[in-house]
Amino acid sequence: MNKNITPIQEKMFQEMENKTIFEQAQNYSFQYLNEVFDRNIFPTEEALLNLEQFNEDIPTETGNASKVLEFLNRFGAPATMAQIGGRYYGFVNGSVVPTGLAAKLMASFWDQNTAMNVISPIASKLETVVEKWLRQLFGMPDNVVAGFVSGTSTANLCGLAAARYRLLKKQGWDINEQGLFGAPKIRIVTGKHAHSSLMKAISLMGFGKQNIEWVEVDDQGRIRPELVPELDEYTLLALQAGNVNSGAFDPFEELCEKANKAGAWVHIDGAFGLWAGAVDRLKHLTKGMEKATSWAVDGHKTLNTPYDSGIMMCADEEAIVSALHMTGGYIILSKERDPMFYTPEMSRRARIIELWATMKYLGREGIDQMVYGMHERAVQFAEALQEVEGYEVLNDIVFNQVLVKCETDELTERAIQKIQDLRECWVGGSTWMGRKVIRVSICSWATTVEDVKRSVESFEQAMREVKLGDLFGG
Ligand SMILES: *Cc1c(COP(=O)(O)O)cnc(C)c1O
């Protein structure tokens, strides 16, 4: 043994050298992939109970690497949601494109810090490339820059930070130097169905939810353009591509033009819906969105990159960089892209690697086919459910979301519970226009015609059991 190394170093050098734990992890992972497409979607009761195993104090002594992995696999894997399969329809999530997953695996070994070009030339390069691809895919102007963050919540925050910087700067106020106390006013205009993450960003930005000028929406949750108040150059108009419930899109063309004339800032929350803009037969939905000022979109939803992958895009580079900029004597500015200027974080993992790999693999045609497939499965789901006694579809299936109600809110809740208990698929609940609803989000490349059939059958069985429960008083 080398006397110059500590025992823990020796142990870990050995683990790196003989690689058995990596083989072990790979075996577990492959086993997981073999089962996940056909297993119970939500963990079984037993798997949930076994989570108790994790309740322990921090170990005193250094353990055995192989045993740590064994433990994690034994009690962790069964307690996962089978999210990458084809019958998970919860929230608006997403599966994972195999190439993206494999690239993430490689990126795990590289363990890059994306902060600066000088720290990771590859991450800097891929961010530059993907930024251009996104512009091309969405038909955005050349001045649009992108920042790669954890999700749309953060991307929304970044977009609003840039807007705040710009809208105050126009009034002679430097937010970075002068702060928010005593600052001139900014107007915030958004639709009544704006996503909760936008509300969070509004709070965090110090705008105050009470200051929002709310605009009424139509029966699909789209902002009603004729009710949008007069805009001016101190206004932030926040729109959305993909209502989290109905999947509906705000009328971008008309509103962006109106806003641009007034000099207002338009931010679009397009977490899952912006990808409609990359699909020939769906891009009418996002028409005009390229005229906005900032956008937020996820890789980990419709595009099916691994978690976590959010993208902030902004047509006002000076505003976004000024809003997120940090300086320090130790920072080396290179001629190439320094990724941290476009994100709130300094150090972060190179999530760009799997985003790049996913886009490089799918290409325009693959994205088109994959996303349109989600839409087709949503249409299939809705049509099949219309035939099932006890369910009613409430929304127009413009994209990938299906909203379903039963005769009463109570029945809807019991149906959701039953469907979840059956574990054949997984759906969650939401509220829509004052009613409890089941929300079905088709957001996985893996969802097949057969998966939808199986899921609709499970809906049917759930309703039978709910009704039987009624007959027998419980
Ligand atoms: C999911 C979602 C968000 C939040 O995105 P995260 O990636 O979960 O942070 C914001 N807006 C809409 C419309 C969404 O669907």
Amino acid identity, position 392 = E
Q: What is the CATH number of the domain that holds 201?
A: 3.40.640.10
Nearest protein CA to atom 12 of ligand 1, as residue: 271
User: Per-residue pLDDT averaged across 449-463, rounded?
Assistant: 98
Residue 460 Cα to ligand 1 middle (Å): 30
Total domains in the chain come to 2
For residue range 322-351, what is the model confidence (pLDDT) as tens digits? 999 865 555 556 789 999 999 999 999 999
User: Would the CB of 245 count as within 6 Å of ligand 1?
Assistant: no
**Residue 324: per-residue pLDDT:** 92
Residue 457 lies in a domain: no
Residues 330 and 193 in one domain: yes
Last residue of a domain, one of 338, 359, 380: 359
Residues 267 and 348 in one domain: yes
Residues 70 and 108 in one domain: no
**Residue 330: per-residue pLDDT:** 53
Residue 11 Cα to ligand 1 middle (Å): 42
**Residue 1: per-residue pLDDT:** 55
Domain holding 44, by residue range, is: 7-82
pLDDT mean across residues, the chain = 96
For residue 156, the ligand 1 atom closest to its alpha carbon is 10
User: Per-residue pLDDT averaged across 239-247, rounded?
Assistant: 98
Residue 372 lies in a domain: no
Query: How far is 315 from 322, CA to CA, in rounded Å?
Result: 13
Burial of 309-333, coded b for 16+ CB within 10 Å and e otherwise, reads bbbbbbbbeebbbbbbeeeeeeeee
For residue range 12-69, what is the model confidence (pLDDT) as tens digits? 999 999 999 999 999 999 999 999 999 999 999 999 999 999 999 999 999 999 999 9
Residues 106 and 73 in one domain: no
User: Would the CB of 240 count as within 6 Å of ligand 1?
Assistant: yes
User: Would the CB of 370 count as within 6 Å of ligand 1?
Assistant: no
Residues 147 and 260 in one domain: yes
Residue 322 lies in a domain: yes
For residue range 246-266, what is the model confidence (pLDDT) as tens digits? 999 999 999 999 999 999 999
Residue 137 Cα to ligand 1 middle (Å): 20
User: Would the CB of 268 count as within 6 Å of ligand 1?
Assistant: no
Count the Cβ atoms, other than its own, within 10 Å of residue 168: 20
- Helices 152-169, 317-324: crossing angle, 10 deg rounding: 110
User: Would the CB of 197 count as within 6 Å of ligand 1?
Assistant: yes
**Contacts of 131-140 spanning 24+ positions with Cβ under 8 A:** 133/359, 134/311, 134/313, 137/277, 137/278, 137/364, 137/367, 138/274, 138/277, 138/278, 138/286, 138/289, 138/290, 138/295, 139/277, 139/290, 140/290, 140/313, 140/315
Burial of 295-308, coded b for 16+ CB within 10 Å and e otherwise, reads bbbbbbbbbbbbbe
Give the pLDDT band of residue 93 (cuts 50, 70, 90).
very high
Model pTM? 0.96
Residue 259 lies in a domain: yes
**Residue 381: per-residue pLDDT:** 98
Last residue of a domain, one of 302, 336, 359: 359
Half-sphere exposure (Cβ direction) of 56: Cα atoms closer than 13 Å: 8
User: Would the CB of 299 count as within 6 Å of ligand 1?
Assistant: no
Residue 253 Cα to ligand 1 middle (Å): 22
